[in-house]
Structure 1
Amino acid sequence: MGTSVPTAPDAAANLADVFPSCLVALGAADDAWSRANGLEARIALRPARSAIVVLVDGLGSVALSARAGHARWLTAAKGTGTAKKLRSGFPTTTAAALSTLTTGRSPGTHGVVGYSGWNPDTGAVMNLLGGWDTEVPADWFLVETLFTRAAELGVDPVVVGPERYRASGMTANVLGGARYVAADTIPERIDAALAETATGRSLVYLYVPELDSIGHKSGWQSDRWTATLELLDGELARLDARGARDVGILVTADHGVLDVPDHANIAVDPLLLTDVVGVAGDPRCRQFTVAPGTDVRGLVGAFRARYGKKAYVASRDEAIAAGWFGAVSPEVVPRIGDVIVVARGSWAFNDDRALRDGEVPKRMIGQHGAMTDEETLVPLRLAGAFAQ
């Protein structure tokens, strides 16, 4: 089957570069260490004693630019320019992207290939965001985090986030190796980051989930989303103003978001799902696992014939060859769906087979997971010792 899918850029700096670049800036590692460990440190950062990495869940560069007047600090470009962009990686979903950030590895290497994923050992789809306590096997995460490596290099790794995530299975795995400091509001998290970097040498990861949550429920174009962006921007300006001058600040996001109108939420034709035994991923990035013996080539062709103008459709082999998941380890291959449907434009693909007659499906407004600029381009704002 001829490949007719886009290839993933492999030379662009992305989320995997953030922590290695910070460790180099802190003097704990160098480019030779990065190469020896199969990592990239392609973000040029000035030297610093400590670093604060702020991860704003769901803040894409496109949405941020559209609301620049409400985010003066985030969109500022001083000197030679400190407002830049990164690529999130693929799929543009939190579980995969945070794993890429904290390991410096691609989804095809760390093993978290989507919001949910197929477990070939159990023959079931698992939630890879909230299912770590009940569904995900203990050995699912395939690589150690860079928090663990930071500690080995003499850097104190700290996570600052809401109390509700402190004891979660995802925290234990994806954020493993770091000391967790609970702070429930954005201002409290800023205060915690300032305290943790007042002395010593530390790598602080500060997580901001609020915008993503609001975006899903109300959309990024809602007044509530904009008001929260304004609050965040003011608190980040305070972090920059009050932080020690030898502390570098890097603000980015795991993915962006776009609002999906009602008419663009497609119920996938049930006939196309006849041989599908597992539906994983997000509505904007569906991964379908099929029964043994299914004609995958024929099913890909059928999906393309039906949805080819609304989505990129690829077999697993095509997606791997195109570099969608980065380098893919042999044990990760069966976790990826046999057929992958990646939405173009603002479409989303839903499996509505379980709905009862007359039942109205629940849809999110803000969605992500696919390859549009709205989803893949995320901000890179440098401040403090990292300002250029």
Structure 2
Amino acid sequence: MTNASLHDDEARRESRTGTFKPRLFVLFTLFLTCLSVASAQRPSVVATVGMIGDIAAEVAGECAAVTTLMGPGSDPHLYRATAGDVRALQAAQLLLYGGLHLEGRLGEVLGATTGRTPAFAVSESVVAEDELIIDDSGSTDPHVWLDIGIWSRVPAFVASVLPQAAGFRAECEQEVTDRAAELEGVFLALDEWARASFETVPERQRVLVTAHDAFQYFGRAYGVEVEGVQGVSTETEAAVADIRRVIDVVVERGVPMLFVESTINPRTVQAVREGVAQRGGPSVTVGPQLYADALGSAGTAQGTYIGMFVHDVVEIVSGLGGAPLPLPAEAAAWQQRWGYEFPGGAR
């Protein structure tokens, strides 16, 4: 082969390669553009709290982009909207909030948004009037999600309102309905599991003492007397009389463990423990923190609504002298997904 022929071959190869590279770049750019468009086409759903946002995300799947305003450790009773929250609310195609005065200090911001964006008070929508708990001051207790039997209605409710978000695709309706039905089945199975697990706690010791009175729905559902040092809302401070009242209950009933919460300062629970000791009462332990008003850290089992509920049941049952039962088969997929194992000696 002559030098001229070699030169011609190299020129042809360079020509083909030079043409191929721009084509590859164009195809790659189109691929990224398609992904971007697909993402942009998903309606934006904003939830105020994780107990709603996690369920909305599970039900929506890839059919909507769900954002939760309040993260781990946020107290919804005291939470104030940030500039980023306001922008997210203004851009939302659908808003899901608790209602029942849960988001007390967000009221003005939510009110300004609900006039132009489909907005739904989830707790108010799924709980019957005769199921609501009213405290001694006449305030409605908003902590409905701690009764997973009632909260099992939320997935279907979310699936029913998602199509009202602008840009929601009609072909997604059956998908979200199916996902909601599956999630409802898991919740109902966990409701029965929790009830059976509390049966293992000695009846005299079925007293749950926490920092604030968030667990009344939980106690009613699972046969546990609940004593909160603070009231239903953390906006009120615990009085000395409240602390003394709880000390009396702990001494009288021989309560073995007190519980703190992830969003509440533990000082009132510590005051109860010290008061019990001064009264010569039983030895009392301050147990692991519970999740009442917020989920756990993102990326952990407790950062999901199911994980929040399972964690609370396991810790309370174990702390009060019972033995949590194995999780039901319906929760196996969740347990495997998050690698959840019972803590300590709980099984």
Normalised by the shorter chain, which TM-score bucket?
0.3 to 0.5
Q: Which has the larger radius of gyration?
A: 2
Between Structure 1 and Structure 2, the one with more strand by share is 1
Between Structure 1 and Structure 2, the one with more helix by share is 2
Higher relative contact order (CA 8 A, sep 6+): 1
